[in-house]
Amino acid sequence: EAGVAQSPRYKIIEKRQSVAFWCNPISGHATLYWYQQILGQGPKLLIQFQNNGVVDDSQLPKDRFSAERLKGVDSTLKIQPAKLEDSAVYLCASSPGGTGGIGANVLTFGAGSRLTVL
C-alpha cells in the first residue's frame, strides 16, 4: 500500500512570500488532516477534511492560511503571506474515516514538508 505523499519536502521563502504544499492520502481514506509541527512541540491540527468537506478548521489562521480538498482526494495547503512564525513542518495525515469502528481514526502520516521563513 502506498503511503501518504507530500511535496515539497523542503521550502525556504522570505517573509510575506507565498507557499503551497500538496498532499496525496492513502487511496480510499476519507479523512485528511493537516498538522503544523513547530520544533520542540507536538503536532497541532490546522484543518480536517471528511471527503471534500471541512470537519474542523478552528485552529487554521484563516487570514493567511487556506486549504482545499477538491474531489475528496488530494489536498493543498497554502500560506499567503508567510510570517517568520510559520516556520515549521507541515504534516499531512489520512485515516479511513467513517462513524465508527476500530481504525477509523488511526492516522497514517506523510514525511512532512519543512518550511523555513527568513
Partner 1 sequence: AQSVSQHNHHVILSEAASLELGCNYSYGGTVNLFWYVQYPGQHLQLLLKYFSGDPLVKGIKGFEAEFIKSKFSFNLRKPSVQWSDTAEYFCAGSYSSASKIIFGSGTRLSIRP
Nearest to 13 by CA among 70, 83, 100: 83
Q: In angstroms, what is the minimal distance from the CB of 95 to partner 1? A: 9
CB 30 within 8 A of CB 108: no
Strands 75-79 and 113-117, how do they pair? unpaired
Query: Does 54 engage in binding with partner 1 (CB under 8 A)?
Result: no
Query: Is position 102 an interface residue for partner 1 (rule: CB under 8 A)?
Result: yes
Segment contacting partner 1 by CB under 8 A, of 18-26, 69-77, 78-86, 101-109: 101-109
Q: How many residues bind partner 1 (CB under 8 A)?
A: 29
Read off the C-alpha cell for 23: 498532499
Nearer to partner 1, 14 or 56 (CB): 56
